[in-house]
């Protein structure tokens, strides 16, 4: 009979110990209750407690300093070649890809021929006739001058003969007509020589120059269209992603990118701050970054830019309780020199220190 009270006391003691362990363990009721009241459930020695007490926590992603740039060719056509692959380094103005451009190259060649034709027309107009043509016109003038002199000499011979009756009136009239024809031919040859030696008329020069300008504009347009069929790098950096391969068709509605590139010489973090925490943000604020891929490392950085506009959350965790409809404010964090090269797009956790901001020199 006395063993029952002892047994009850032992069972009661075991239950009380279990309850105490459940209340005060890291995963028990008390830490959750403290967390629900806004406190820090982490043990005093845990590194998380020191951060949560004085920091803003957020999620973010690694991105290049230039941001990720989507490169597309704004012309419909078939992709002829892609000269780079993912991970390749690239230089500014380097040709990365191009479309099939045989037809456009033919248009450029035709436009070049038109320009050369118009240039030759202008040069001919400005320089006038060839020396041989000038010499020929001068010789023609000399011939007509001689013909005029001969006709006048014949007329002078026939006139007294006609007066004395030794020559008919008809022969005199023929001599007069020969002088008139010779003089007319002489005037024509002199006019031709003056025309050859005269400078071009201003209106003719204006017209030929206008024709040349039209041809040159057409050539520039065809060259510009040919250049649009090539994809050049706008930056020094690295190819982050390749979307298309040779033989695929390029569409502009919607515009399909060929490559994604970025300047990876420096990387930074784009973090999303909950709207309830934005009052604690400031430029040059120190930040600490961690990533599940590097569990034993912590990376430092500084807030370099604070976004001007609220937006929807884009970086999501794997937690089922994570709210996806939260309004957030984007910030950019310049990383200190990291001991490892963090991959672009890596999801990270960000902790912003609420101690006074540092002044960057």
**Residue pLDDT, tens place only, 242-264:** 999 999 999 888 889 999 999 99
Residue 21 confidence (pLDDT): 45
Q: How far apart are CA 113 and CA 119, in angstroms?
A: 10
Q: Does the N-terminal peptide bond of residue 222 adopt cis geometry, omega within 30 degrees of 0? A: no
Entry pTM: 0.63
Q: Which residues of 99-124 are buried (b: 16+ CB within 10 A; e: fewer)?
A: bebeebeebbeebbebbeebeebbee
pLDDT in tens, 165-224: 777 878 878 888 988 998 899 899 888 878 777 788 889 999 999 999 999 999 999 999
Q: Where are the domains of the chain?
A: 69-101+229-262, 107-225
Asked if 90 contacts 71 with a C-beta cutoff of 8 angstroms, the reply is: no
Q: How far apart are CA 286 and CA 298, in angstroms?
A: 13
**What DSSP letter does each residue of 9-24 carry, written as one string?**
HHHHHHHHHHHHHHHH
**Does position 19 have pLDDT exceeding 50, yes or no?**
no
| pLDDT-based confidence at residue 337 (cuts at 50, 70, 90) | confident
* pLDDT average, residue stretch 312-340: 79
Asked if 107 contacts 211 with a C-beta cutoff of 8 angstroms, the reply is: no
| pLDDT-based confidence at residue 103 (cuts at 50, 70, 90) | very high
Residue 281 confidence (pLDDT): 92
Helix, strand or coil, per DSSP, at residue 88? coil
| pLDDT-based confidence at residue 31 (cuts at 50, 70, 90) | very low
Q: How far apart are CA 300 and CA 290, in angstroms?
A: 9
Q: How far apart are CA 224 and CA 229, in angstroms?
A: 9
Positions of E strands within the chain: 55-64, 69-71, 77-82, 89-90, 95-99, 230-232, 237-242, 249-250, 259-262, 267-274, 286-291, 294-312, 327-335, 347-353
Instruction: Please indicate whether residue 58 or residue 359 has the higher confidence score (pLDDT).
Output: 58
* pLDDT average, residue stretch 84-112: 96
Lowest mean pLDDT segment, chosen from 30-44, 211-225, 233-247, 291-305 = 30-44
Of 322, 210, 352, 264, nearest to 87 by C-alpha is 264
Residue 129 confidence (pLDDT): 76
Asked if 281 contacts 273 with a C-beta cutoff of 8 angstroms, the reply is: yes
* pLDDT average, residue stretch 315-335: 78
**Does position 43 have pLDDT exceeding 50, yes or no?**
no
Residue 48 confidence (pLDDT): 44
Tokens 């690295």 found at: 238
Phi and psi at 148, nearest 5°, equal -65, -45
| pLDDT-based confidence at residue 28 (cuts at 50, 70, 90) | very low
* pLDDT average, residue stretch 46-52: 45
> In whole angstroms, how large is the CA radius of gyration of the chain?
47
* pLDDT average, residue stretch 38-55: 46
Residue 196 confidence (pLDDT): 78
**Does position 297 have pLDDT exceeding 70, yes or no?**
yes
Residue 208 confidence (pLDDT): 95
Q: How far apart are CA 280 and CA 243, in angstroms?
A: 40
**Does position 42 have pLDDT exceeding 80, yes or no?**
no
Instruction: Please indicate whether residue 116 or residue 163 has the higher confidence score (pLDDT).
Output: 116
Mark out the alpha helices in 198-253 (DSSP H runs): 202-228
Residue 315 confidence (pLDDT): 82
Instruction: Please indicate whether residue 27 or residue 213 has the higher confidence score (pLDDT).
Output: 213
Q: How confident is the prediction for the chain on average, in pLDDT?
A: 82
**Does position 27 have pLDDT exceeding 50, yes or no?**
no
Q: How far apart are CA 271 and CA 287, in angstroms?
A: 11
CATH 1.10.645.10 for domain 69-101+229-262: no
Residue 39 confidence (pLDDT): 41
Phi and psi at 271, nearest 5°, equal -110, 155
Q: How far apart are CA 132 and CA 137, in angstroms?
A: 9
**Does position 357 have pLDDT exceeding 80, yes or no?**
no
**Does position 9 have pLDDT exceeding 60, yes or no?**
no
Percent of the chain with pLDDT over 90: 47
Longest dimension (CA), the chain: 192
| pLDDT-based confidence at residue 320 (cuts at 50, 70, 90) | low
């Amino acid at each position: 009979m006395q063993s029952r009270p002892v047994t009850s006391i032992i069972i009661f003691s075991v239950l009380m110990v279990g309850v105490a362990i459940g209340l005060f363990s890291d995963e028990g009721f008390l830490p959750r209750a403290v967390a629900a009241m806004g406190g820090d459930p982490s043990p005093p020695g845990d590194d998380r407690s020191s951060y949560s007490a004085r920091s803003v926590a957020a999620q973010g992603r690694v991105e290049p300093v230039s941001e990720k740039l989507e490169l597309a060719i704004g012309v419909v056509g078939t992709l002829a070649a892609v000269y780079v692959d993912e991970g390749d380094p690239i230089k500014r103005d380097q040709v990365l890809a191009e479309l099939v451009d045989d037809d456009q190259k033919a248009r450029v060649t035709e436009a070049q021929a038109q320009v050369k034709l118009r240039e030759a027309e202008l040069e001919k107009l400005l320089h006038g006739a060839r020396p041989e043509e000038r010499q020929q016109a001068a010789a023609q003038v000399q011939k007509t001058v001689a013909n005029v002199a001969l006709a006048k000499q014949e007329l002078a011979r026939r006139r007294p003969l006609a007066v004395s009756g030794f020559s008919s009136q008809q022969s005199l009239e023929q001599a007069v007509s020969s002088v008139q024809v010779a003089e007319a031919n002489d005037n024509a040859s002199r006019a031709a020589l003056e025309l050859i030696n005269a400078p071009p008329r201003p209106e003719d020069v204006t017209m030929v120059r206008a024709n040349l300008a039209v041809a040159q504009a057409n050539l520039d347009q065809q060259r510009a269209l040919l250049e649009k069929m090539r994809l050049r790098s706008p930056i020094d950096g690295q190819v982050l992603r390749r979307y298309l391969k040779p033989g695929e068709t390029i569409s502009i509605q919607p515009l399909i990118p060929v490559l994604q590139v970025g300047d990876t010489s420096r990387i930074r973090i784009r973090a999303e701050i909950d709207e309830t925490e934005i009052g604690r943000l400031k430029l040059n604020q120190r930040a600490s970054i961690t990533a599940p891929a590097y569990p034993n490392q912590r990376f430092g950085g500084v807030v370099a830019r604070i976004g001007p506009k609220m937006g929807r959350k884009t970086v999501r965790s794997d937690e089922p309780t994570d709210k996806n409809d939260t309004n957030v404010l984007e910030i950019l964090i310049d990383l200190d020199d990291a001991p490892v090269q963090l991959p672009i797009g890596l999801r990270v956790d960000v902790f912003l220190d609420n101690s006074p901001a540092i002044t960057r020199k």
